[in-house]
Structure formats: C-alpha cells, structure tokens
Amino acid sequence: MVSTVIPVHPFDLVIFGATGDLSHRKILPSLYRRMLVGQMPAGSRLIGAARSKMTRAEFRKTVREALGEFVEAKHQKPEAIEEFLNAIDYVAIDATGDAGWGALAKKLDEKPDNIRAFYLSVAPALFAPIAARLAQTGIATPESRIVVEKPLGHDLASAKTLNAELRKHFHESQIYRIDHYLGKETVQNLMAIRFANALFEPLWNSHYVEQVQITVAESIGVAGRGAYYDKSGAMRDMVQNHMMQLLCLTAMEPPSKFDPDAVRDEKLKVIRALDPLKVSDTVRGQYRAGGGDGSYLDHVGNPASRTESFVGLRVHIANWRWSGTPFYLRTGKKLTARVSEICVVFKHPPHTIFPQVDTLRGNALIIRLQPNEGITLRVAIKDPGPGGMRLVEVPLDMTFAGTLGPDGDLPEAYERLIMDVIRGNQTLFMRGDEVEAAWEWADPILTAWEESGSRPMPYDPGSAGPIDVYKLTGSDGHLWREIAA
C-alpha cells in the first residue's frame, strides 16, 4: 500500500530548545523522516534556538549526532542527512534576555513568503516570555503558528494563566497545543472507524455498549525522569491529557464535519458531561522494588513521596448516549507490558438459542494503539468441526502492519503533528478550553487525594497494578482485559 504524501508550502520552523532532549529525540528525527518522503520543500529551513552559544556548524554537528542516535538504521542515508543538515541554521537566544532576537528576525525576513512556525520545546516557564518577545519584536506575524506541549499547566489556575499569556500575543487559531497521542495512527483511525462506517455508530451507545476500558500501560519506570515525574504523577502526566483525549474521541458525538472546531466542540462536550470523580471510583498505586530494579521511591529519591505511578478510574459520562455505561481507565509505570488500547465491550444478545458457553465474553472492538497498531473485532462463531453447535470467540483482525507490508512504516505521531502545524490544520491539537475543562475535572480529585493524606497502594513491577484496581470493574461484574503485548 502506498500512502499519499500531501505537499506543503515551504516553511521556516524555529525550534526554541533545539539543543534539548525532545528536539533531539523526536522533533528533528520526525522532520528528517518527513523530508525523506518529500514533505520538506526546497527553501524550507529549520532554525534552532537555544541559550548555548554555538555556530551553525557546531549545531549541525549535534543534529547529525541526534539523527545517528534516534533515526532507525534503515533510514540513515548519507545524502539525505547532508540535504537535511543544509536546511539547518542556529541562533543563540536567551529567552529571557535581549540578545539574538534581531538575528532571528533578520534570518526570517530573508524568506518572507515562508510559513513561520515557532516550536517551544522549552520549560513551560519560558512559554510566556518567548511568546511576548516574538510578538514585541514583530517576528511573529498574524499568520505565524506557535506550538507548545505538555505540561500545559499543573492545575486549572495555572492552565488558565498559561492560556491567557499565550492569547495576549497569539490568536487561538495560531496556537497548536500538542498531545502526541492525537498524532498516533490508530487514534486517528478511531475516528475513521466510527464515522466512516455505518456498522458501528448505531451500536455506539449505552443500549448496546456494556463497558469501555482504556488502558495505557508502560513497562518502564520513572528512573531518569524522577524530578519531573514526582511533581506530576500519573493523573497529571497521562490522564488529564492523553487518556482524556482517548476518552473524548471514543465517546464524542459525530461532529458535523471533520474540521478543527467541529471536532473540538464535540470533545469539549464530553469533558463537560463527565460526572465528578468520587474517591471510591479511583485507585492509586506506586510500584515496589523488584526484578533487580528499585522502587518508585528509590527512582524519585523521595522516601516520603505520595505521588502515584498508577491510576485506575471508573468514569461516568452523564449524557443520553452514555448514561449507564462505565468507562474504566488505567495507566501506570512498571506494568506487565507496554500496551495502549481502547476496548469497547458490547452487551450480550438479549436471548441465546445456542448452548451457554461460560467463556464467551461478548463482542468487543479493540482499538490497539501500541504495539501492533490495529483494530480487532471479537466475534462469536461456531467452533469449527463436528463437535456440535458450540460457540467460540475469534478475533477479526485489522492489524495495520499487515496492510502496510513488512517494510511498511507508520509515521510517528510527531511527524503527523508537525506537518499539520505547517498545513495550518488544528484538528489534532487541543483547544485552550478543552485543556481547562480537563483540569477542572481533574483538580478536585487531585485535591481530595492530597487532603486525604493517604498513600498510594504498592504494586509489584510486572503486575497489572494494585490489587484494588480489580474492585473498580469487579463491583460492576466486569473484568479487566489482560495486559498483554
């Protein structure tokens, strides 16, 4: 299968924080891969900006090293790397000082017709000062785009402040808030499956859906990121943003069209329809030491930490479509496997004419984000052979890798999202009101946990989380799906 590459207009992408980890691991390799497929037209430039004083040649050397480390071997093509490096420039700018802005303005003015985008790959405290400088110096034009990424606030108040700061200088239509889960191929496919097929939508409601499970399990711990993570925890790090987006796309009404505001309006309605979370509908966990590795407390270097590395939730959406259908969410570090999926479990038929088989779990649509991106429909059929009319459940598999063939590559989330910035398409980016509404929902439970003074439940590395997470589903007579890669 050959995927279509949509041409883009020549662009200048200025990466603030270009010497940092995100730039090296994700942004630059993604741009390189897009260049390989012809999405970096001649005349486009990538302008690194960071505090470090270095020449263009020195910066290019760091980019070459980053590509060497973070681009798959099969894509390491010397000629292409040279071509990519030729498009790279650098300006030393301290975001909080005066130096460097003039040089950046001069460079950008060399190509006034290029699309201008500014990627703020820096600490959130620098978002407002950089946005202000870009506006005050006239570097940002009314058509320019600004890209920011999580953490978009620590709570509702800080998210509102951040939005207000950005909106002082940029219109909402210029602000691209990245949630990299929205760039994942299967997440976009969730919309295709729901809204391009007549098959599912009539069943997509509480009359037919028994329960929905959203799992984002990771096998890694927080070692190396402890300083950030311990101030955040799984609720802020994963639930308020990535999992909320998955929940919204699963539960939203069909938008009237596939345009940014139509989609984001529907997502916002889901967040606003969420019932307030009760503490009894939540489970927090912290991983123990095991398998030769330290515990969460060791990894964050804080023996008194009450930050959660696991969250399980039972969520209710108070609207006509979903009233009565529980949505179970769980995410955590150091679990059995790295698995992200959404599982929509349908109700059993109202009457069965076949011999009862206890192992039948019911139809389910499993949307697998990673690994093995794809969609599976679990259906009941007759157990093949002469054994009589016994039923068995089999997967109807729509794994994307199979469709793409053995050498097929799905674009990385950042590739898709950065190109959408250049194309000026905000559909897969969070609008400011969505971010605030998600914090408004998350804040009370974060406060309740904090005020309770209780500690998260310990769980073993390699497990499915703390034992109490089974009570969330068990009390409704449901079972979590196994976490298996």
Ligand X SMILES: O=C1O[C@H](COP(=O)(O)O)[C@@H](O)[C@H](O)[C@H]1O
Nearer to ligand X, 210 or 412 (CB): 412
Q: Does 341 bind ligand X (CB under 6 A)?
A: no
Q: Which residues of 163-180 are buried (b: 16+ CB within 10 A; e: fewer)?
A: beebeebbeeebbbbbbb
Residue 22 contact, options ligand X, ligand NDP, none, Cβ 5-8 Å cut-off depending on partner type: ligand NDP
Nearer to ligand NDP, 232 or 325 (CB): 232
Shortest Å, Cβ 231 to ligand X: 12
Q: Helix and strand tally (H, E) in the chain?
A: 17, 15
267 is in an annotated binding site: no
Give the nearest residue (CB) to ligand X. Answer: 237
Residue 105 contact, options ligand X, ligand NDP, none, Cβ 5-8 Å cut-off depending on partner type: none
Tokens of 78: 């010397």
Shortest Å, Cβ 125 to ligand NDP: 9
Residue 218 contact, options ligand X, ligand NDP, none, Cβ 5-8 Å cut-off depending on partner type: ligand X
DSSP 35-54: HHTT-S-TT-EEEEEESS--
- What secondary structure letter does DSSP report for 481? P
User: Of residues 24, 169, 242, 299, which has the active-site annotation?
Assistant: 242
348 is in an annotated binding site: no
Instruction: Indicate the burial class of 384 (C-beta count within 10 angstroms; 0-12, 13-18, 19 or more).
Output: exposed
- What secondary structure letter does DSSP report for 372? S
237 is in an annotated binding site: yes
26 is in an annotated binding site: no
Shortest Å, Cβ 222 to ligand X: 7
269 is in an annotated binding site: no
What is the helix, strand, coil percentage profile of the chain, to 5? 40, 20, 40
Nearer to ligand X, 149 or 420 (CB): 149
Q: Interface mask (CB under 6 A) for ligand X, residues 191-230, using x and -? A: ---------------------------x------------
Instruction: Indicate the burial class of 25 (C-beta count within 10 angstroms; 0-12, 13-18, 19 or more).
Output: middle
On whether the CB atoms of residues 253 and 269 are closer than 8 A, the answer is yes
Closest CA to 171 of 142, 148, 150: 142
Shortest Å, Cβ 150 to ligand NDP: 5
Shortest Å, Cβ 261 to ligand X: 25
Give the nearest residue (CB) to ligand NDP. Answer: 20
Residue 69 contact, options ligand X, ligand NDP, none, Cβ 5-8 Å cut-off depending on partner type: none
Rounded distance, CA 20 to CA 8, Å? 27
Enumerate binding residues for ligand NDP (CB under 6 A): 16-23, 25, 50-52, 93-96, 121-124, 126, 149-151
Shortest Å, Cβ 52 to ligand NDP: 3
Rounded distance, CA 133 to CA 144, Å? 14
Nearer to ligand X, 93 or 238 (CB): 238
Shortest Å, Cβ 433 to ligand NDP: 21
Tokens of 406: 């053995």
Q: Does 373 bind ligand X (CB under 6 A)?
A: no
Nearer to ligand NDP, 25 or 154 (CB): 25
Cβ atoms < 10 Å from Cβ of 114: 18
Find the binder of ligand X among 12, 237, 281, 341 (CB under 6 A): 237
Tokens of 408: 């097929």
Q: Scanning residues 403 to 432, which ones bind ligand X (CB under 6 A)?
A: none
180 is in an annotated binding site: yes
Rounded distance, CA 359 to CA 338, Å? 26
For residue 100, CA distances in Å to 91, 137, 147, 432 come to: 6, 11, 20, 30
Residue 24 is among the residues annotated as catalytic for this protein: no
Tokens of 308: 């959660």
230 is in an annotated binding site: no
Report the binding-site residues for substrate. 180, 184, 218, 237, 333
Report the binding-site residues for NADP(+). 51, 150
**Catalytic residue positions?**
242
**Residues interacting with ligand X, by CB under 6 A?**
218, 237, 340
